[in-house]
Amino acid sequence: MNGQTPVLLTDDQMRQFITEGFLILKTDFSKQFHQELLQELNEVYEKEGNPGNNLLPRIRGLRKVFDHPVIRGGLTSVLGPDYMLHTHRHGHYNSSPQAGGWHKDSYWGYSRVRNHHPWWAMIMYFPQDTPPELGPTGIMPGTQNYESRTFDKDDSPGEALASGEAGTFALIHYDIWHRSTPNVLGQHRYMLKFEFMRTAAPVAPTWDNRTPEWIAPASFSAPLVRHDAMWEDTWLWLQGKIGGTAGLASDSSERLAELEARLQDPFEPERLNAAYGLARNGRNGIERLLPALGHERAEVSRAAAYGLSAAGAEAVPGLIAALDSPSPHTVMHAVFALGELRELASAAVPAIIRLLDGSSEPVRRTAVEALGMIGEPAAQATEGLIRCLKDADVQVRFMAGLSLARLGSKAAAAVPHLVAALEDENRYVRGHAAEALRYIGTEEARDALIDFLFSSRWCPTTTPASTFYP
C-alpha cells in the first residue's frame, strides 16, 4: 500500500451499490498513465496474446491501479479492509460489432448458491477512452440478486453503460447481469476484470457512514420492482447486524398467508420480496419459510433460503432439522442459509461436517463455504476443511482454501495440509492455498508461502522475444 488514506464511499454511494449493484469510480491518474498502460497492453496482446491470470504481473503498471485510494476505498467500503484480490483476473478484448449475451460470471467454470450480501465484487477497468460506440460493458442495474434473467433480452430497458474517458472503473456486485455491447468503431477496446472476496464478515460499517438508518431511495434506475426489505437487510448486514430486519414487522395472518403464497410466484422478484417480507416477521415468518425450503421446486426453496438467512437466530433450529431432508436442493439451501447466519449457526457445524461424507457435489461445495462463514467452533471447522482440501471434487478443494483464509490464524492446524495443496493440479487450489497461508499468517505459514512464491517466481519481463536480455 502507498500509505494514502482510502477514499471511502458515502452513504449515498453505498445505497446506490445496494440497490443498483454497481458504481462508476473516477481516479486522478494522468492521461499519460493510461496511455502508457494501453500501449503496453497493445504490445502484449499483439506479441503474446491474452496473458489471462498473469495480467497483473505482465502489465506492471496495473499494480498502481489497485493501490489508488479511490479504488482501495471503494473495495474497503463494500468488502471490508481485509479483502482479497482473487487469483483469477482477465483482460477482455472487444472488437465485435455484435453485442455479447447477457450473463452472470461463473465461479471459474463452477457454480454455487449466489450471495445477496456482498461477499464478492469485481472491478472493471477501461484503460482507453470508451464512448458508447466502442462497446463498453453493459450492466443491468438491480439484477445482482436475480438467478434468472427477468428483463427483456432485446430491448434491455434501463441498461447502464460503463462508458467514459480512459480510467473509468466500474465497481460491481459479482453476480450482476452484464454483457459486452457492440463495438461499431472497430478499434481496440480493453476491459480488465479483477475479482475480490470479503475475508471477514462485517462487524461495523467500513464506509463513511453518517446515517445508521436505511433510507430507501425515492427512485432508482433498475427496470424491475423495488426490494425495500432486501435492501434494508443488506444495509444492516453491512453494519454488522445478522438478521437485522427480523422481527421489525408484525403482519396480520392474512398478510402472512399472502406472502407465503407469493413464495411460489413464477416471477423471481416477487418470490424474493415475499421471502424477505416473511423474514421481517420473526417466528411467524420462519414458520412459513421452513415448509417452502422443502418445496419440490428448487427456485421456491432457494427463495425461502434467502428469507431464512435474514431471519436471525430463531431460524437456526429449523434449518438444522432440514439438513436431514432427502432432497439435495433442500439440504444445499439450508446449509447456505446457515452459513449466512454465521456464528449464530455454530451449533450446526457438526451436522454440516457430516455432510462432507457421501453428499452430492453441490451439497459439499455449499458445506465447505458455510464452514468458513460460520467459523466457530474453529477447531471443528478447520478439521472439516482440512478434509475438503483432499476432496475428489476440485471445486470443493479450491473453496476449502478460501474458507480457511476466512478463518485466518484460527486455522493454523491446516498449514501442513495447505502446503501439500500447493502441489495440486488445479491452479485455483494452489492459488487459494497460498492465500490461506497468507491470511493464517503464523511463522510456519509465512515460511511455507515465501518458499512457494520463490520457487514459482514468474518474471514479468520474460517473453518469447526476450528470454534473458536485457
Kindly report the CATH number assigned to the domain that includes residue 167: 2.60.120.620
* 164 inside domain: yes
Provide the pLDDT confidence category of residue 461 given band limits of 50, 70 and 90: confident
- Domain-embedded: residue 168: yes
- In 3D space, the residue among 406, 336, 342, 402 whose CA is nearest the CA of residue 364 turns out to be 336
262-272 per-position pLDDT tens digit = 999 999 999 99
Buried b or exposed e, range 330-368, using 16+ CB within 10 angstroms: bbbbbbbbbbbbbebbbebbebbbebbeebebbbbbbbb
pLDDT digits (tens, 9 = 90+) for 153-172: 555 668 999 999 999 999 99
Residue 348 included in any domain: no
The pLDDT value recorded for residue 109 is 81
Q: Of 197, 228, 260, which marks where a domain is finished? A: 197
Q: Which residue has the higher pLDDT, 287 or 66?
A: 287
> Cell numbers 454440516 label which residue?
352
Inside any domain, residue 130? yes
Question: What was the pLDDT predicted at 224?
Answer: 63
Collapsing DSSP states into helix, strand and coil, what is residue 48?
coil
Contacts of 305 (CB under 8 A, 6+ apart): 113, 293, 333, 334, 336, 337
| Arithmetic mean of pLDDT, 101-119 | 92
Angle (nearest 5°) at CA 129 between 195 and 144? 35
Q: How many domains does the chain have?
A: 2
Range of the domain at 427: 377-460
CATH number at residue 382: 1.25.10.10
Report if residue 183 sits inside a domain: yes
- 410 Rama class: left (phi>0) / alpha (psi -120 to 50) / beta: alpha
Query: What residues form DSSP beta bridges with 183?
Result: 134
Mean pLDDT value of segment 38-63: 89
Considering the domain boundaries, does residue 118 fall inside one? yes
CB burial readout 185-198, b (16+ within 10 A) else e? eeebbbbbbbbbbb
239-248 pLDDT, tens digit per residue, is: 999 999 999 9
Give 22-40 pLDDT, tens digit per residue: 999 999 999 999 999 999 9
**Is 190 domain-assigned?**
yes
- Reported confidence tier of residue 466, pLDDT bands at 50, 70, 90: confident
Is 248 contained in some domain? Answer: no
